[in-house]
Amino acid sequence: MKKNMGNLDKGIRIVVAIGIALLYYFNVIEGTLAYVLMALAIVFLLTSFISFCPLYLPFGWNTCKRK
């Protein structure tokens, strides 16, 4: 797997995931919406940690700086 996510992209995803977790913790979101957003937050965290987003492949996007 080739890295295709840059530091800014990873940072934004982590901040969004933490924001979703806080909204869930403080009961701002609940029910089905909460479960869908928490699943999205988990995907954001996983893709941030491995620096690879499978959705970028079909579009040919790469936010990682080239060496």
Give the three-state DSSP class for 15: helix
Asked whether residue 17 is assigned to any structural domain, the reply reads yes
Asked whether residue 66 is assigned to any structural domain, the reply reads no
Asked whether residue 47 is assigned to any structural domain, the reply reads yes
Asked whether residue 59 is assigned to any structural domain, the reply reads no
The Cα–Cα gap between 44 and 48 comes to: 6
Q: pTM for the full model?
A: 0.88
Ranges of residues in the chain with a pLDDT under 50 are none
First to last CA, the chain: 16
Domain count along the chain:
1
pLDDT the model gives residue 65: 80
Q: Domain span at residue 12?
A: 7-53
pLDDT the model gives residue 1: 80
Asked whether residue 16 is assigned to any structural domain, the reply reads yes
